[in-house]
Amino acid sequence: MNPDWWRGAVIYQVYPRSFQDSDGDGVGDLAGLTSRLDYVAALGVDAIWLSPVFTSPMADMGYDVADYRDIDPVFGTLDDFDRLIARAHALGLKVIIDQVINHSSDQHPWFVESRASRDNPRADWYVWADPRPDGTPPNNWQSLFGGPAWTWDAHRRQYYLHNFLSAQPDLNFHNPAVQEAVLDVLRFWLDRGVDGFRLDTVNFYFHDRQLRDNPPRDTGPGTAPWPDLRPFDMQYSLYQKSRPENLAFLQRIRALMDEYDDRTLVGEVGEMHEAIALMGSYTSGGRLHMAYAFEMLGDRLSPAHVRACIEGFFAGAPQGWPCWAFSNHDVHRHVTRWVALGADSDSLARLCAALLVSLQGSLCLYQGEELGQVQARLDRDELVDPQGIAFWPEDFGRDGCRTPMVWDHAASQGGFTTGRPWLPVKPAQLAHAADLQTSPDSVLATYRALLALRRDSADLRLGATTFLEVPEPVLAFRRGAGTLCVFNLSPDPQQVTLAGLGRVLARQAAEVAGQTLALGPSGYLIAAPA
């Protein structure tokens, strides 16, 4: 047993709908995923994280749960889930599952009962509020998917809160019965053998009891001359989320986890304001084991930004622990987001692989990232994501990063399914099929080699970070006892002088001459201490 296995671990995120279909219905499933676990284990990761597979009407692709204790038939059965757990454990892989407990589906029996009357046993399990005298919602809170965060229910003659879709009503965590019910759900899956949870929107659980209006977001020089795409982003969500009451509940979840051996919690911190500080708070004081925010999932990638994230986190929370990711199911793939920084797509993918495995913290690797997969460009009539549909064409939504895994470039639908896939497989994705990546310098081979390097290096897994003073666009730091990591975050050649370059462990477009390191476009060097 190793209770700290998660510290410095690499977690592979699986989006089950898009990983492998076993029955030809065009949707990935648990049996298909189980058949591909050998591939995942061969990457050299420590764990897999499954996006939701629970019973759901799929208004938000499973992030609207109608039964927290069962598997949706499109993915299989509880028996299929048990077989997946058993096979993963046999391969040495831990299994982390999504828990979407901030909100449920409006078809969950809890909400069906809650909306039935104002005096039933679950009447206060969700966030209900009376209208203002003029009939408008109780405050100015906005939904992330556009429009007010309140929907009128004619039967109760009240509004209910939903930070996301109106089909995703928020649970009322101020109610102790709700907390107990959620803890029972977590206990159900822990007893079934899962190794941990990824907690969706972990800072949204509690809201301001007084339902005070959010203040407007600070504006000033350099701000956009027109409103943000989402009204939600025009406010500082001071009263809508990230409330202090959340901390005590996270401690309750952690206490439950500590009743079991070797389990872990990773939380998604959705915050625009001081996200790094919130990550630190949530992973200190007996709360989450680790947390991630969107700080490295955006458009910025510069030496200054990476340094600010790492130094800012550990300065503010020396006992906390971060989890870093460059891509996931909610953002455009990083090879596409950061394309201007690289020599070419594959070189940039290899550079990002080297940077990711060098970061202090735990890591999340999103399916297809290890293939250098790019963002798919879908037509309007191909979208299923409610975000993309709501904001098209200003925002193409999240479907482009959720298209199926491509295993065989010559097979129908890339080997993902024998039927019609739920999202299309495009030529740009076929070009990054797994079966094409057989050369030693392929993106897949590079990921395998770099993950092995991290696994075998105490410096890269757990060592502290010391940043070196070099001019941008070069990023340089040492980990632990001195492992050197240098990256050229640009498409132009760079040259730096560094003492103690040491023995080369991994490199791309990098030449050493004495104390001079010449880095080509997207070049990097990882070297053992001199």
Mean pLDDT by runs of 10 across the 530 residues of the chain is: 94 98 98 98 98 98 98 98 98 98 98 98 98 98 96 98 98 98 98 98 98 86 66 94 98 98 97 91 97 94 97 96 97 96 96 98 98 95 88 87 98 97 97 97 98 98 98 98 98 95 96 96 95
Last residue of some domain: 399, 421, 451? Answer: 451
Question: pTM (2 decimals)?
Answer: 0.96
Q: Are the CB atoms for 85 and 95 separated by under 8 Å?
A: yes
Q: How many domains does the chain have?
A: 2
pLDDT for residue 225: 56
pLDDT for residue 228: 75
pLDDT for residue 392: 86
Catalytic residue among 98, 200, 295, 399: 200
Last residue of some domain: 422, 451, 480? Answer: 451
Range of the domain at 64: 10-103+175-451
pLDDT for residue 473: 98
pLDDT for residue 17: 98
Last residue of some domain: 451, 479, 511? Answer: 451
pLDDT for residue 530: 83
328 lies in the same domain as 399: yes
407 lies in the same domain as 478: no
Catalytic residue among 191, 218, 259, 379: 259
Q: Is residue 327 part of a domain?
A: yes
pLDDT for residue 272: 80
DSSP character for 343?
Answer: S
259 is catalytic: yes
pLDDT for residue 226: 59
Q: Is residue 138 part of a domain?
A: no
Backbone angles phi, psi at 113, to 5 degrees: -70, -40
The 8 Å CB, 24+ separation contacts for 460-467 are 460/8, 460/357, 460/358, 461/7, 461/8, 462/7, 462/8, 463/360, 464/314, 464/360, 465/310, 465/311, 465/314, 465/360, 467/307, 467/310, 467/311
pLDDT for residue 395: 79
DSSP character for 229?
Answer: S
113 is catalytic: no
pLDDT for residue 446: 98
